[in-house]
Amino acid sequence: MTDTHLTKGLEMKAKFLPILVAAIAATTVAMAGDGKAIATENGCMACHSPGEPMVGPSFAKIAARYRGKTDAPTVLFQSIKGGSRGKWGVMVMKPDTKLSDDDTRVVVDWLLAN
């Protein structure tokens, strides 16, 4: 391979890099939007709201407590799927048995991204 071929290959990669970055960003935004839709469709909003506490803590407070913690996705996944007690006062969060594992992960990702 000549230097010319190598240069053209690098130029081609440089042209497609912004497209790849934009595609990844769009996918991340779509997943975040899907998380809110999944939470809404599955009754999470009955106890949680984006900014104000209701029966349970707001999504903003949950995100603030767990953001940046390496175990946050696992802890939140387990809280949603298995329920929780005593993390936010006396209220008990019942396990959500109807959400699939994949949907639960999307909700957790959305929650931590906001």
Question: For 81-91, what is each residue's pLDDT tens digit?
Answer: 999 999 998 98
**Helix then strand then coil, % of the chain, to nearest 5:** 65, 5, 30
Average pLDDT, the chain: 83
Q: What is the pTM of this model?
A: 0.69
CA gap 45, 50 in Å, rounded: 8
Instruction: Show the domains of the chain with their CATH numbers.
Output: 3-113 (1.10.760.10)
